[in-house]
Chains A and B, each alone.
Chain A
């Protein structure tokens, strides 16, 4: 069974700070997605990366897929309260469309 470990599990920061969330595995994935889940809602897709070393930016969020396609990171610059939520990475590559989700990182950004 493929596993995706995320770190840290919890993160509480103040508005304006920068942070990085990590998603690590011993397995190789053909693709990696990041989702954000807000309280009372289902996860919503933020980004998909498919190439080792790929970097994608979404406003203040920067996503990177590791060269060996075993890990990924999410960096948020100048965090805002609207960034609060549960961040989940998800690796693909086994049975078509089946994803392995990470353990999750809960982020709280306060004023």
Chain B
């Protein structure tokens, strides 16, 4: 069964802290994505990756960076957390590099920045 896991369901951090959000998929998918979800705004793409050590900016990359050292793991990094980064963060993966392929999502990490 397809599975995408995220390191934490809930996280509380202070302004200025460095925050790491981890995502692991067990499907040998090449494509991985990080989104943030806010009420009334749907899901917005932060970064995505088509291969190990490869990354591309999404629609809202400012204040974030990513790391993909292994195929199954895609990390989202907040270099210096700010209160406007309080949100739900969702990781997803796909097998094919097409927009018709299924995106498999993790359960999300709800991050609160105080």
On whether the two chains bind one another, the answer is: yes
Question: A residues within 8 Å of B by Cβ?
Answer: 1, 4, 6, 9, 30-31, 33, 35, 40-45, 48, 50, 88, 90-99, 101-104
B4 touches A103 (CB 8 A): no
Assembled-state Cα–Cα distance A31/B108 (Å): 25
Q: Secondary structure of the B side of the interface? A: loop
Q: Are A104 and B42 in contact (CB under 8 A)?
A: yes
A103 in contact with B99 (CB, 8 Å): no
A94–B40 CA distance with the chains assembled, in angstroms: 23
CB-based nearest A residue for B48: A98
Majority secondary structure, A binding face: loop
Is the CB–CB distance between A88 and B107 below 8 Å?
no
A17, chain B: closest CB distance, angstroms: 24
- What total count of A-B pairs have CB within 8 Å? 75
Is there contact, CB below 8 Å, between A98 and B106?
A: no
A9-B92 in contact (CB<8A): no
Number of interface residues of B (CB under 8 A): 32
**Contacts A96-B99, A97-B101 known; A42 to B42 CB distance under 8 Å?**
no
A97 with B102: CB separation less than 8 A:
no
Does the CB pair B105–A97 fall under 8 Å? no
A101–B98 touching, CB < 8 Å: no
| Additional A-B contact list (16), CB under 8 Å, known A31-B100, A90-B43, A90-B103 | A33-B100, A35-B103, A41-B108, A43-B43, A45-B102, A91-B99, A93-B99, A94-B99, A96-B97, A97-B94, A97-B96, A97-B99, A98-B45, A99-B99, A101-B35, A103-B41
* Cβ B42 vs Cβ A102 within 8 A: yes
With a cutoff of 8 Å between Cβ atoms, the chain B residues found around residue A91 in the complex are: 99
A77-B94 Cα distance, complex, nearest whole Å: 31
Complex CA distance for A34 and B97, rounded to whole angstroms: 18
Instruction: Evaluate contact between A42 and B45: CB separation under 8 angstroms.
Output: no
